Structure 1
């Protein structure tokens, strides 16, 4: 049996999404995988625009539980060896730095904790004189997670979805990689109200440190709706969200970056209407004005394309939930989702995450995916940690353009980037979605997706652990 968790692929990483990297490179640590049951999780990719980054900021891994394993994956797409400096940051301890060499067209795994004991440990990876891509890997008893590291810090971070129901654990992980303190104002929204706790206004994150906020301790216990805003009044930072779901319809573990900016459009390649599963779009409007949104479902078929867009109002300062099962006439199967603002106002936009609960037997697996923002579509995508070969839906490609495209799936190895047999020219219909099965038996190395039109790509990876 399999369980899939969703995570989008994005062309503009900008310290935000768990998405695919366009022309980005990296690999997954050899984290222990349970062989009896596997879960599939859609993982991040990188777009070609982000591959030029030389610094990567990882959101953090649990650092005080020896039952959780973690690693930093550094991928080198070039023809020459590269050197990277990895600096590990924590709470109340001095940074720990080390130098790592990554051979040409390969990946290297580094211990993400480095022997440090702290609630969370974050990594800054600086690639010297060249380029590469970086992901962090967590093997948690409730499921393994791959998270794209950010290629830049930001002064603002947003999380649309959050959940502390059934005593589920949500932690916001704030990392300041700089030598000066960062000062932030933090607010959150529940199903009932918006809160700005006094102790979280003018909140100081010391230099080169990691601060963890448990949301139940901030007055948000047993909340089924919990959006969070982090805005810096001085300095910049990286913000991640650690979630351990324990009930009320959600199970599993996730770690993801927040959105480092609002957007007027969000895209999701892998929407699914399948018996036993549920899909919800969580829309957070942190601005001071109401926003009108159009939700378009795309799968290249006449039935889907003939659907009128769903129109949703996102009230100012609140969270809006849209259950796709309630969309009249939405066909079963795979489809892409594009959410856009209708009003032309200069307020930045909204944040949208996709929550999917997939039923396997008597259990449920929850995945949360931040969409691809405006301008994220690209003609080249890379999955640094590879994909789970042998799955029927290893990759999902969304073509939101009016022109048919063709996609080539390749793998990076000693011989360079080589197209996979049978995947040299896959047709992607205009305003359509294509699901790609990557052949079994491939080594776990970087996968590159090239397209003749701009697309958004999402990959699925086996999580390997039964849900808790």
Structure 2
């Protein structure tokens, strides 16, 4: 097992505006403040003490094609058995209902496609007695396996920042109405240059306790490098997932939840610049006002402080902007590789063309000792090679959705994964210090977890496995040191960890992403968030 830690610069997140600043002196060792976000939190464990907990899954493919299917995973880390009632929904309505008995400190799985009756997509609603445990889904496809948390709640509005239909890539919206009344909603989509509100989806209906799918290409958005979608209910509440088949310059498969609310901050723990890696962020503004968005990169060496001096991103109303972090914007210099414009070195010759005599400096009449002066390079705006974390923040009211698209080399091909940013918990900006991993790797996997310490004090991170006696810390993954503001990757290679529920805990606030193998004979990874533990 190897553990990799990456030095970081100080991170300070200030107040309601979400202003991000970089300290160039010694870091201020105090906990950061976070912006308050309206709406629901991201899927989380232990959100409420209700008598039952509802989980709404974004949907899995179930059309009986080879290599296609999905399952639901219910994790019970508690000391008592729990009962989970479930309903499988398709475009035909509820096709199966039943119960899963989940023994203490174990997991239970439901094979969804066994009962889907050939529907293109099926969604599952799970009710857990006592509000204990948590639920995730696994979607399988010939282009890869995708893991996603199921939602704790429904919402009238859902947003997707990055869709893709180039090279015969297919994006499908999966809309689930888990309730007994129909939902009426409007759909609109945006690209970098236009917005459309298809007439056939003006006040469209999702029938009670059913699933409706919409292929984005059928809306006229074919061969688009980026498409953002807003679904806003006139009445009722929905769950919206996005299934994406990537082909061509992107390769992979992803099923995940859309965003149930707009935010003023979006956080990403994983990110990387290296040869062959393409990383972009889609920033979607579905509002009627222009928004300026500041980008902060964490986990960088002090020599890269200039990266966080870049110009903000301007996102026009009802548009999406694709942000490439390798493209430099701003007014600072270029880290000494070349002189900044207008700062050419003075001519080191005398007016007659001869070299200055000893003691004849150019600074004053009496001459100056050139060696007495040290010229500092301007801070670099270029993102350095290696891993980084990223935060997108705006001073506006919650108004944006941000998703990261990361394509890495994978054997003789490439692998693409899309991840929506994480959010802080309203109303007090809570960030968890413990994260629950119900679906982890089933084979030894290096760099399976990416952990970002957002506090400005050193931390230690430990990984525990849920077993018959409860959570037990893995000795080789105990008290991993993590500097203030730093990123670490953690290998999950111990056979005792594979296929088990895990708990990642830290002594500070952290964001944790997981990076799992795509499955089968496919090389590459699929990124996703585990579930934060509510405080």
Partner of 2:252: 252
Match of 1:358 among 408, 414, 418: 408
Count of aligned residue pairs for this structure pair: 425
Partner of 2:107: 107
TM-superposed deviation, 1:129: 2.8
Q: Secondary structure at the match of 1:97?
A: strand
Distance 1:260 1:58 in 2: 13
Distance 2:145 2:258 in 1: 19
Where does 1:57-68 land on structure 2 (aligned, <5 Å)?
57-67=56-66, 68=68
Check if 1:349 corresponds to 2:399. yes
Q: Secondary structure at the match of 2:326?
A: helix
Partner of 1:55: 54
TM-superposed deviation, 1:113: 2.8
Partner of 1:440: 494
Distance 1:127 1:148 in 2: 15
Check if 1:279 corresponds to 2:333. no
Q: Secondary structure at the match of 2:388?
A: strand
Distance 1:175 1:309 in 2: 43
TM-superposed deviation, 1:260: 0.6
Q: Give structure 1 stretches of 5+ with no counterpart.
A: 1-11, 22-45
Partner of 1:37: none
Higher mean C-alpha displacement, 307-316 vs 141-150:
307-316
Distance 1:51 1:420 in 2: 29
Where does 1:227-266 land on structure 2 (aligned, <5 Å)?
227-247=228-248, 249-266=249-266
Partner of 2:439: 385
Partner of 1:268: 268
Q: Is the 8 A contact 1:63 1:118 kept in 2?
A: yes
- CA deviations over 1:161-215 (Å, ceiling 9, x no partner): 0001112111000000000001111000123310001110111101000000011
Q: Secondary structure at the match of 2:115?
A: coil
Where does 1:383-422 land on structure 2 (aligned, <5 Å)?
383-387=437-441, 390-422=444-476
TM-superposed deviation, 1:70: 1.3
Distance 2:94 2:308 in 1: 56
Q: Is the 8 A contact 1:402 1:430 kept in 2?
A: yes
TM-superposed deviation, 1:388: 5.4
Q: Is the 8 A contact 1:242 1:256 kept in 2?
A: yes
1:83–1:47 distance in 2 versus 1, CA, 3 Å: closer
Q: Is the 8 A contact 1:407 1:426 kept in 2?
A: yes
Q: Is the 8 A contact 1:264 1:374 kept in 2?
A: no
Higher mean C-alpha displacement, 95-104 vs 153-162:
95-104
Distance 2:166 2:56 in 1: 30
Q: Secondary structure at the match of 1:270?
A: coil
Higher mean C-alpha displacement, 440-449 vs 98-107:
440-449
Q: TM-score w.r.t. structure 1 length?
A: 0.86
Q: Is the 8 A contact 2:93 2:209 kept in 1?
A: no
TM-superposed deviation, 1:399: 1.6
TM-superposed deviation, 1:115: 2.2
Distance 1:159 1:399 in 2: 27
1:205–1:450 distance in 2 versus 1, CA, 3 Å: same
Higher mean C-alpha displacement, 159-168 vs 301-310:
301-310
Q: Secondary structure at the match of 2:151?
A: coil
TM-superposed deviation, 1:339: 1.1
- CA deviations over 1:336-386 (Å, ceiling 9, x no partner): 111111x3x43x220000001112244121110000123362111011112
- CA deviations over 1:15-70 (Å, ceiling 9, x no partner): 886xxx7xxxxxxxxxxxxxxxxxxxxxxxx4554797711001111121242131
1:47–1:339 distance in 2 versus 1, CA, 3 Å: farther
Q: Give structure 2 stretches of 5+ with no counterpart.
A: 1-36, 329-380, 525-535
Partner of 2:79: 79
TM-superposed deviation, 1:467: 7.2
TM-superposed deviation, 1:439: 3.3
Distance 1:467 1:408 in 2: 28
Distance 2:189 2:41 in 1: 18
Distance 1:51 1:303 in 2: 47
Distance 1:51 1:122 in 2: 25
Distance 1:51 1:366 in 2: 38
Distance 2:143 2:178 in 1: 29
Check if 1:425 corresponds to 2:475. no
Higher mean C-alpha displacement, 82-91 vs 112-121:
112-121
Partner of 1:96: 96
Distance 2:245 2:188 in 1: 21
- CA deviations over 1:102-160 (Å, ceiling 9, x no partner): 00001011111342221211100001234111111122111011111111111110000
- Asked which structure has the greater RCO (Cα within 8 Å, sep 6+), the reply is 1
- CA deviations over 1:241-269 (Å, ceiling 9, x no partner): 1111121x111111111011111111110
Distance 1:377 1:289 in 2: 29
Distance 2:48 2:459 in 1: 22
Check if 1:167 corresponds to 2:222. no
Partner of 1:316: 317
Q: Is the 8 A contact 1:48 1:380 kept in 2?
A: no
Flag the structure with higher strand content: 1
- CA deviations over 1:284-323 (Å, ceiling 9, x no partner): 0111111111111111521234533432111111111111
Check if 1:186 corresponds to 2:239. no
1:405–1:304 distance in 2 versus 1, CA, 3 Å: farther
Partner of 1:32: none
1:360–1:386 distance in 2 versus 1, CA, 3 Å: closer
Distance 2:49 2:444 in 1: 27
Q: TM-score w.r.t. structure 2 length?
A: 0.76
